[in-house]
Structure 1
Amino acid sequence: MPICTGVLLAAGHGTRLRGSAPYKPLCPVAGRPLIDHALTGMAEAGLTRAVVVLGYGAEAIAAHLATRHWPLTVETVMTRDHREPNGVSVLAAAPVLAGEPAVLAMCDHLVTPALYARLATTGTGGGATLGIDRRIGHPWVDPDDVTWVKTDGDAIVAIGKGLADADCYDTGVFAIGPRLFAALGSLGAPSLTDGMRLLAGDGRAQVVDCSDLDWIDVDDPAALAKAEAWRLALAA
């Protein structure tokens, strides 16, 4: 049965987009905030519930969420400290998931809804599954900022920034479950990558190829311009 709950990380500072919006989740792309794109995309993918993890700018983002009628159930939780790595924000969602799997996504990653759907259908594989893109050199991807992944078939061998001999990109969309939360919880202030490395060491981190699906990390003005052009072209 496909996963029906999404977890959306929206807790970070987003300093490189501060000129476009005071809080990154509210940064408009083609006239709609990033968080709106993410939530409506999750609903289009068949998810019926979204848990939004807030931190920096939580009051403003929560107020925005409260003014909209969403096509899925939306609830919010707070990270313990938005200055800590993103694995801490992932852990904030664990209590409300109560052991159920979820599709995990980043609020600043604008993706084709089918990418969420593919992870929901693939599932966790007994650990965690990452959607990857093997189109190395894609003009939408910043090679210095993206998380790189090295695979052996469907298994993750290594993951990290600037990874030597990597063969694909991390799209920022995962299927996660209790084993990832356990891995993250065993560390003091973990990043999501740290947790995936632990699972990979146990043979419990797998990938699903999403190279046929579009996505972009909207992390700076250059990426924002590319995302605008993509979305406006789709609407034309």
Structure 2
Amino acid sequence: MIRNAVLLAAGYGSRLRPAAPYKPLCPVAGRPLIDHALTGMAEAGLTRAIVVLGYGAEPIAAHLASRAWPLAVETVMTRDHREPNGVSVLAAAPALAGEPAVLAMCDHLVAPALYARLATTGIGNGATLGIDRRIGHPWVDPDDVTWVKTDGDDIVAIGKGMADADCYDTGVFAIGPRLFAALGSLGAPSLTEGMRLLAADRRAHVVDCSDLDWIDVDDAPALAKAEAWRLTLAA
């Protein structure tokens, strides 16, 4: 089972600025998004989290340093938060030293079991993405989500607005050296482009997470849905 996690928390988060100056610190049901992610990772059995910072690095790092976490937490810096997200992923590579990791987005609020499923499934011969086949789910913005087309357990296409897609990208991955190598070969590396490179060699895989809840908290409507979900769980 994978024990390392990489949590991307470097972005600007412009659509959530009315709710919080820094997206990772945006409260959902009384707790910052980054707190939900880290405690969920620990609940899933992960023991170490590498948090990639960029925009708002100082206040986010101060928040992390002010709390005792149920797993080891360390931070690294992306070279530029305005660059594609693959740059932030690459920033974590030296700290992993070749070990696999569960990769997640700080603004994706997910059931801890989703992290656990990727940790248990592993990277296969490349990388694995958690997918959701519940097309039309009310928590998913079809214009913002990354779509995926599969052939069995393999990805054959991935991107925005794909008419022939059969599932959603949940934003939770199991990653290893082959994805880092793919990203490193790109001039402006994004996760989507890195997964496309692996998919061309049948090295990009999926694990079905359609039975597990998740939501991309990217704007005010999504934040309201996330609040309702978490408050329901707490009731």
Which TM-score tier does this pair reach, normalised by the shorter chain? over 0.9
Match of 2:155 in 1: 156
Give 1:164 shift: 2.0
Q: What code does the residue aligned with 2:108 have?
A: H
Q: What code does the residue aligned with 1:221 have?
A: A
Give 1:137 shift: 0.1
Match of 2:233 in 1: 234
Q: Distance in 1 between matches of 2:142 and 2:99?
A: 34
The 5 A counterparts of 1:118-197 are 118-197=117-196
Q: What code does the residue aligned with 1:125 have?
A: G
Q: What per-residue deviation string (whole Å, max 9, x for no partner) do you get for residues 169-225 of structure 1?
A: 000000000000000000012110000000000110000000000000000000000
Give 1:163 shift: 1.1
Q: What per-residue deviation string (whole Å, max 9, x for no partner) do you get for residues 47-94 of structure 1?
A: 000000000000010000000000000000000000000000000000
Q: Distance in 2 between matches of 1:48 and 1:10?
A: 18
Q: Distance in 2 between matches of 1:11 and 1:160?
A: 21
1:99 counterpart SS class: coil
1:129 counterpart SS class: strand
2:136 counterpart SS class: coil
Q: Distance in 2 between matches of 1:17 and 1:83?
A: 16
What fraction of aligned residue pairs are identical, expressed as a percent? Answer: 89
- 1:49 to 2:48 alignment: yes
The 5 A counterparts of 1:68-107 are 68-107=67-106
Match of 1:11 in 2: 10
Q: What code does the residue aligned with 1:6 have?
A: A
Q: What code does the residue aligned with 2:192 have?
A: T
How many residues were matched structurally? 235
Q: Distance in 1 between matches of 2:87 and 2:161?
A: 22
Q: Distance in 2 between matches of 1:24 and 1:101?
A: 26
Q: What code does the residue aligned with 2:73 have?
A: V
Q: Distance in 2 between matches of 1:71 and 1:50?
A: 10
2:58 counterpart SS class: helix
2:159 counterpart SS class: strand
Instruction: Tell me how large the CA RMSD over aligned residues is.
Output: 0.3
Q: What code does the residue aligned with 2:215 have?
A: I
After TM superposition, where is structure 1 displaced by more than 6 Å over at least 4 residues in a row?
none
Unaligned runs of 5+ in 2: none
Q: Distance in 1 between matches of 2:163 and 2:126?
A: 25
Unaligned runs of 5+ in 1: none
The 5 A counterparts of 1:11-30 are 11-30=10-29
Q: Distance in 2 between matches of 1:206 and 1:189?
A: 23
Q: Distance in 2 between matches of 1:204 and 1:11?
A: 27
Give 1:138 shift: 0.1
Q: Distance in 1 between matches of 2:205 and 2:40?
A: 23
- 1:40 to 2:39 alignment: yes
Q: Distance in 2 between matches of 1:130 and 1:211?
A: 12
Q: Distance in 1 between matches of 2:159 and 2:8?
A: 19
Q: Distance in 2 between matches of 1:157 and 1:192?
A: 15
Q: Distance in 1 between matches of 2:82 and 2:13?
A: 11
Q: Distance in 2 between matches of 1:233 and 1:96?
A: 37
Q: Distance in 1 between matches of 2:224 and 2:96?
A: 35
